[in-house]
Amino acid sequence: MKNTLMTGAAALALIAGSVAGPAAAQEAKISDGKVKIGVLNDQSGVYADTTGRTSYQAALVAVEEFGGTVLGMPIEVITADHQNKPDVASNIARQWYDTEQVDMITDLPNSAVALAVVGLSKDAKKITMVTGGGAADISGKACTPYNFHWAYDTTMLSNVVGGALVAEGGDSWFFLTSDYAFGHNLEASTTKVVEEKGGKVLGSVRHPIGTTDYSSFLLQAQASGAKVVGLASAGLDTQSAIKQASEFGIVQGGQRMAALLFTLPEVRGIGVEAGQGLVLAESYYWDANDISRELGERIKAKAGVYPNMIHAGTYSAVLQYLKAIEAAGTDDPDAVAAKLHEMPVKDSFTQNGVVWPNGRMASDVYLIEVKKPDEMKGDSDFYNILATVPGKDAYPDPKTTGCPLVQ
């Protein structure tokens, strides 16, 4: 197992601006003299660019912004590659908790991995803040008192992207779906949106993660005559499907590709020539405003690339976790979880985030179109923002999610 360790700058005094005064400092309780955060994600597979090392660097940016210590104690960040395997991820998480004194795990792309670690963390009474895993079940029927779901989920993608395309006339769909929890959730939630808006689904086909040849799947989509081919996948899987769809002339034939989870690294990967006109959703875009640009530049300085919503979401989750420890005066999971539910989220990722009873952090979402090459004003100027969707409209009412914590 490959681990990388970063220790926050040591300090002898409380950070400036802390809500804790001298008396509170004496009462502050950090369980083992430090706060340790684990960034667990895919660093060698299909989601390595979508999350990977850039999420780790984004977490370091959050620690630096916070000041390197919390309640006078150092902050450490470690990272590991879960290889998109739930058993590998569970073993790493168990080792982190049992022998390495990790207090919180974040990122967790691949929803099967996220669900496994969230369940293990519930039993261990440890906090998870999922930014990479997108299945709505994470803050739905699998919700726990210690889990928080940041950045996006499948219902948001379906509501924002699916709803927009149906409204534009894309009322018949065929899905190419990754065969695991995330893909299943995304297909199901988008199907619901399409049908509720008067459209219909003509069929679907499932493929394993890491598929390289989409020809048979694309031929089925082409033969269906659907107006929209929905890609319920992510990372390199979605990139490969879009590239091969171009070779098959699917778009030229009048069908539209809906990349339901497609973020900045994937656009970079296929290039705007192939990606132009794609409609997608992100809850963060580095060039949206002055605040997002400043964060984008800080993460790029470490990672070499501008962040997507998952990278920036990891920054936000880590920063909010540290703020919650400071507000609680302890790293006790129950006290910190209570503060995470209470506190608004205001940082360089979002200015108006709210954590709902099911652990879902709801913030504004951008409906985005990939620019044409002649519209770009720089080599990272990929997006036109078509609309800003409020979090309350993008995400489902917690009462409808099946979360047992919600009355």
Average pLDDT of the chain? 92
Going by C-alpha positions, the residue among 382, 397, 391 that lies closest to residue 350 is: 391
Residue with the two structure tokens 């507000």? 327
The proportion of the chain whose per-residue pLDDT surpasses 90, expressed as a percent, equals 86
Q: Report yes or no: 103 and 36 within 8 Å, Cβ to Cβ.
A: yes
Do residue 212 and residue 333 come from a single domain? no
Q: What is the pLDDT of residue 27?
A: 52
Do residue 227 and residue 355 come from a single domain? no
Q: What is the pLDDT of residue 30?
A: 84
Do residue 226 and residue 373 come from a single domain? yes
Do residue 332 and residue 278 come from a single domain? no
Q: What is the pLDDT of residues 119-165, one digit of tens each?
A: 999 999 999 999 999 999 999 999 999 999 999 999 999 999 999 99
Do residue 371 and residue 334 come from a single domain? no
CA 276 and chain centroid, separation: 23
Do residue 296 and residue 147 come from a single domain? yes
Whole domain around residue 171: which residue ranges? 155-285+367-389
Do residue 254 and residue 380 come from a single domain? yes
Q: What is the pLDDT of residues 180-218, one digit of tens each?
A: 999 999 999 999 999 999 999 999 999 999 999 999 999
Q: Report yes or no: 204 and 235 within 8 Å, Cβ to Cβ.
A: no
**CA 161/CA 281 separation, integer angstroms:** 6
In a domain, 384, yes or no: yes
**CA 227/CA 191 separation, integer angstroms:** 14
**CA 140/CA 214 separation, integer angstroms:** 31
CA atoms within a 13 Å half-sphere pointing along the CA-CB vector of 131: 37
In a domain, 23, yes or no: no
In a domain, 29, yes or no: no
In a domain, 6, yes or no: no
Do residue 163 and residue 279 come from a single domain? yes
Q: What is the pLDDT of residues 157-188, one digit of tens each?
A: 999 999 999 999 999 999 999 999 999 999 99
Do residue 84 and residue 163 come from a single domain? no
Q: What is the pLDDT of residues 265-278, one digit of tens each?
A: 999 999 988 888 89
Q: Read off the tokens for 141.
A: 């029927």
Do residue 242 and residue 272 come from a single domain? yes
Helix or strand holding residue 179 (H, E): none
Q: What is the pLDDT of residue 251?
A: 83
In a domain, 20, yes or no: no
Do residue 47 and residue 180 come from a single domain? no
Q: What is the pLDDT of residues 32-67, one digit of tens each?
A: 899 999 999 999 999 999 999 999 999 999 999 999
DSSP state of 160: I
Of 81-95, 241-255, 376-390, the range with the lowest mean pLDDT is 241-255
Please, where are the H alpha helices in 279-403? 290-303, 309-328, 333-342, 391-394
Domains in the chain, number: 2
**CA 154/CA 111 separation, integer angstroms:** 10
**CA 388/CA 59 separation, integer angstroms:** 26
In a domain, 194, yes or no: yes
In a domain, 13, yes or no: no
In a domain, 30, yes or no: no
Q: Read off the tokens for 200.
A: 């219909």
Single-letter residue type at 380: S
Do residue 160 and residue 309 come from a single domain? no
The domain that contains 337 carries what CATH number? Answer: 3.40.50.2300
Residue 71 has pLDDT above 50, yes or no: yes
Secondary structure of residue 36 in the 3-state scheme = strand
